[in-house]
Structure 1
Amino acid sequence: MNRLTAFFIATLMALGTSLAHARDLNADEARKLQDAGTILSFEKLNAAALAEHPGATLTDTELDEEYGKYIYQVDLRDTKGIEWDLELDATNGKVLKNHQDT
């Protein structure tokens, strides 16, 4: 096996390992987590995201489980048309990332 092949295999293995720790949750899973009080309601999470950029509109949302934590990902478009990517801790609404989409 040459070095390039070995590097390619190692890269694929590393990607597979990291992808195994993050997954999108479906609506039923999210509803169960909300009902159990494990995560905040989507209304509260959306409000927390919108508070970061008053007047913005939500363009996309997604709930993921990453390394045992629930992360709510939000895409916003502000009043100037600038797109923002936010990540919130779905259990408490704390903003983890807030950066302009490039």
Structure 2
Amino acid sequence: MTPEIGQCHESRAVAAPVHSGRRGCKLRRLARLLIVLLPMAAQADAPDAELARRLVESGRILPLEQLLERVRAIRAGVLLEAELEYESDHQTYVYEIELLDDAGQVWELELDAETGELIELAPEHSQGSP
């Protein structure tokens, strides 16, 4: 018997978990959708990485590694996040960096991506803190 469009019918291996009814069908559809969409989400950052590479090669911005050396001289800590952002107000690129220091404090640093100049250094406030 061939399932009709919209029906959920699959053969299962003996060791596979068995879901009954419509819920199992929805879970399998969701799993298939995630399998298709996850690679697309991973590629979403690719244009940003390509843009950053081109900006470094053209001399418009400093390489992230070079800025991280400057960050280490300003504040010791473990790198949590680094983002390259375009500030349309000033028509310049900035690196937004988050660090975790030895005391457990998260710090946010903003540096001019072209010069490496520190723009801002501030502790991050956790939710619920003033």
TM-score (norm 1): 0.72
Letter in 2 for 1:93: G
Q: Which residue of 1 aligns with 2:70?
A: 48
Q: Kindly state the Cα deviation for residue 70 of structure 1 after the two structures are TM-superposed.
A: 0.4
Q: Structure 1, residues 33-85: CA drift from partner, whole Å, max 9, x if none?
A: 0001110111011111121112x110000001112110100000011111000
Counterpart CA distance in 2 for 1:50 and 1:79 is 13
Q: Which has the larger radius of gyration?
A: 2
Name stretches of at least 5 consecutive residues in structure 1 with no aligned partner: 1-23
Letter in 2 for 1:42: L
Q: Structure 1, residues 2-46: CA drift from partner, whole Å, max 9, x if none?
A: xxxxxxxxxxxxxxxxxxxxxx97000000000011101110111
Runs of 4 or more, structure 1, over 6 Å off, are none
> What's the % identity of the aligned pairs?
35
Counterpart CA distance in 1 for 2:71 and 2:110 is 8
Indicate whether 1:64 and 2:94 are aligned: no
Query: Conserved in 2, the CA contact under 8 Å of 1:70 and 1:90?
Result: yes
Letter in 2 for 1:35: E
Q: Which residue of 2 aligns with 1:87?
A: 110
Question: Cα RMSD between the aligned structures?
Answer: 1.5
Name stretches of at least 5 consecutive residues in structure 2 with no aligned partner: 1-44, 126-130
Where is the strand percentage greater, Structure 1 or Structure 2? 1
Q: Provide the aligned length of Structure 1 versus Structure 2.
A: 78
